[in-house]
Amino acid sequence: MDESAPIVIGYDGSVFADEALRKGLWLADRLGVKATVIRAWTISTAPRPATWSPGYVPPVEDFAAAVREQLEAQIADRLAEFPEVEVELQVPHGAAGRELVRASEGARALVVGTRGLGGFTGLLLGSVTDQVVEHAKCDVLVSRRRDVDQAPPRKLKLDQALEPEE
């Protein structure tokens, strides 16, 4: 393992991603390595660029610039908490799972939240997190938030046995 490889952090703007960002930056700070924050996007998930107007579809580069601007604004406060960490931002155009798996190839570790902006509440892991855990080329840290719905309600007797009623 390359000891200087970066910590890669997946970020989509969700509360889960913010927790992953905090933990990923903390880890990069402790290890003394760079952090790479990735916000993968598609046209349907990108903010509207300033060059957009009715009847005109801006070039992909304009969408990428809008995504980068949004990312910079969303994470600025969190980055200020870790001023010693060198941070690179990447905004690849493509499916989040695929782009995070690609980025994992040169990473020391990949940090993601349990879920993102989409999907169903009550799922333990979102589809992107599941894909990353399954296919990443490095260690994966799945960051949990204790104060937000993390898993389906426990209804099975086995679950009750693991967490006895009080």
CB 116 within 8 A of CB 17: yes
Describe the strand order of the beta sheet including 7-10 as a list of residue ranges.
87-90, 35-38, 7-10, 109-113, 139-143
| pLDDT value of residue 155 | 46
Residue 112: CB atoms within 10 A of its CB come to 32
CB 23 within 8 A of CB 111: yes
Residue 3: CB atoms within 10 A of its CB come to 8
| pLDDT value of residue 152 | 45
- pTM recorded for the entire structure: 0.81
| pLDDT value of residue 159 | 47
Going by C-alpha positions, the residue among 18, 20, 25, 2 that lies closest to residue 106 is 2
Q: What is the pLDDT tens value at each position of the chain, 166 positions in all?
A: 678 899 999 999 888 889 999 999 999 999 999 999 999 998 888 999 999 999 998 999 999 999 999 999 999 999 999 999 999 999 999 998 899 999 999 999 999 987 555 554 444 445 678 788 888 899 998 887 666 555 544 444 444 445 555 5
| pLDDT value of residue 128 | 76
Span 7-162 CATH architecture? 3-Layer(aba) Sandwich (3.40)
Going by C-alpha positions, the residue among 100, 161, 108 that lies closest to residue 134 is 100
| pLDDT value of residue 114 | 78
CB 35 within 8 A of CB 87: yes
